Amino acid sequence: MILSVSDFADSLREELAALPDAEAPSLPRFLRALLGGCWRARDDMGAGEEPTWDALLALCAVALRDEPLALDPSWLEDPRPPESAPRLDGGFEELEKVLLFQIADLHQLEMVGKLRDEWSLLGLPSPSGALWNSFELFLYCENGVEGLLQRAPHAEASWGALALLLECAREPVA
pLDDT of residue 64: 95
Average pLDDT, whole number, for the chain?
A: 91
Reported as a single tens digit per residue, the pLDDT across 47-86 is 789 999 999 999 999 999 999 999 999 999 878 888 888 9
Domain ranges of the chain: 5-68+88-170
Contact yes or no for 133/170 (Cβ under 8 A): yes
Predicted structure pTM score: 0.93
pLDDT-derived band at 120 (thresholds 50, 70, 90) equals low
Percent of the chain with pLDDT over 70: 94
